[in-house]
Structure 1
Amino acid sequence: MSATEVPTDNGREIPGIAEFARTATRLHPRSGAPTARDSHIGGPLWWPADEPWPHCDGRLPTSTGKPQENWTAEHEVDGPIALVGAAQLFRRDFPALPFPEGTDVLQVLLCPNEHQLDSSGADYYYGPAAHLVWRASAEVTEVAGRPPQPAGVGGEFVPRPCVLNPCQVVEYPALSELPDEIKLPLSFVDTAGFVHDDYDRWPKVSQCSKVGGWAFWWQSSPGKLDCQDCGAGLRLLLSLHTYEHRDELCSCEQDELQPAGWEFGRQGALNIFTCPEDSTHAFRLHID
């Protein structure tokens, strides 16, 4: 695990900051040829031959992991659209994922059409719909062949196959995500909660595809995201980035800036937030 400097107030310890440290597993995707038995982005899924391949009719996501409420779709083609495999992550490679009991693989599929969430403020969303499957790999006795391909859609949300080279880093949230009782006493924060213009020493949140950690907020401000089933504050499950940025948080080489080839928003990230109490509760999506 790469070491990350603990934030300070100009060298002075910040009381309570340690509880906001989160471990993120950077995926470091690279172009490759993963198999259905591998953790990957954009490769074949460990999908049962006797299980129908999921399609989107504008009301996704469904099944395991309930959707955000009030989805609408803007499909440019008629009829259900076959989903595309976005990511597959096995417990053996990512044990920190909140696997429901009896499961050991997370599969993320996307509808390659634009969807939107009919609300405003922090909940506004415009991008691909997602479908999460938490699966017991041992129950798959025969793997499906090549899945159906979505017809009549662009490739904006369709990834190229990538192998993963994960490493772990420790992240702290952006200052705007800290509660007032920690943020307001800081010497570089004014009474209204704004950071002084000349302060630039707060640790950065990594901009990369990763499991866990904190979301990088670029075009919007952090909003409070609560579980619609139980009210718990949602946490970042997975971030899929348009670009794989290098930074000081780890020394791993990242040869390709855009290995998966997809693009979310204005060169941002598709963030999937799930309930820390039960990962099968309704999840939320946000692109930033």
Structure 2
Amino acid sequence: MKELVNAYLEWLRKGLSMKEISDGWHEVVTPFLNHKNDMIEVYLKRAEDNQIIISDGGNTLNELTLSGIDIERSGKRMMELNVILRSFGISRSENNELIVKSNQANFPEKKHNFIQAILSVDDLYVLSKPKVESFFIEDVTTFFELNEVVFVRDTTFIGKSGFSHKFDFTIPKIKQRKEIAIKAISSPRKDRIESVMWMIEDTKLIRTETEGLLIINDVNEISDEIQKALSEYEIPYFGWSKRESNLYRLKNVA
């Protein structure tokens, strides 16, 4: 699976572009897309203490507001936002700007995690759709608890690349089965799926007794392109509508 990891990193390198804009700030355009299919941008500036400021310029939360999602008026959304920001060590300013600082040595990982945080926050958009009544992560958690699936929330593993990868759930290893690192995908867009595929394979290169699993919200049909990619690289997954028939994969039994 090294070719998948290398292909992803090459796609990422080719998709990044940077230009200086003003007052020491540099704009970095990434190949990742938000819910409006616009490329996600981050902003960099070296502070007086020589640390590097990484910011989203306020775009992430402001775009959600423009799409009809008022974070301030929803207790659930605000709670989930705070969980995301805490888990990635990111601050939120009074004008809704997401910010983190890094030093020279840990900048690549900090920027990587910052983009993953933006993607997680942007996924709050799915709550504006009438068919989605609650957070997908919350639904998965409830399903696990009701069916006595043993799991740990929000685990982080270091991959072969040196980047850290946060998984939504981890099911411990037992004699008959490897440890399972799970990502719950509420919005199965192509760039998100490719990113998670890389996370899984990068992790498996180090943690050989860990296998990945995607649980995908299929309220809208999973595209043939995504299913083909997952099948080609042998990434295990199932749609949320088929959770009952896949429960055996999650239980601590042979």
- Could you state the TM-score of these two structures normalised by the residue count of structure 1? 0.23
- Could you state the TM-score of these two structures normalised by the residue count of structure 2? 0.25
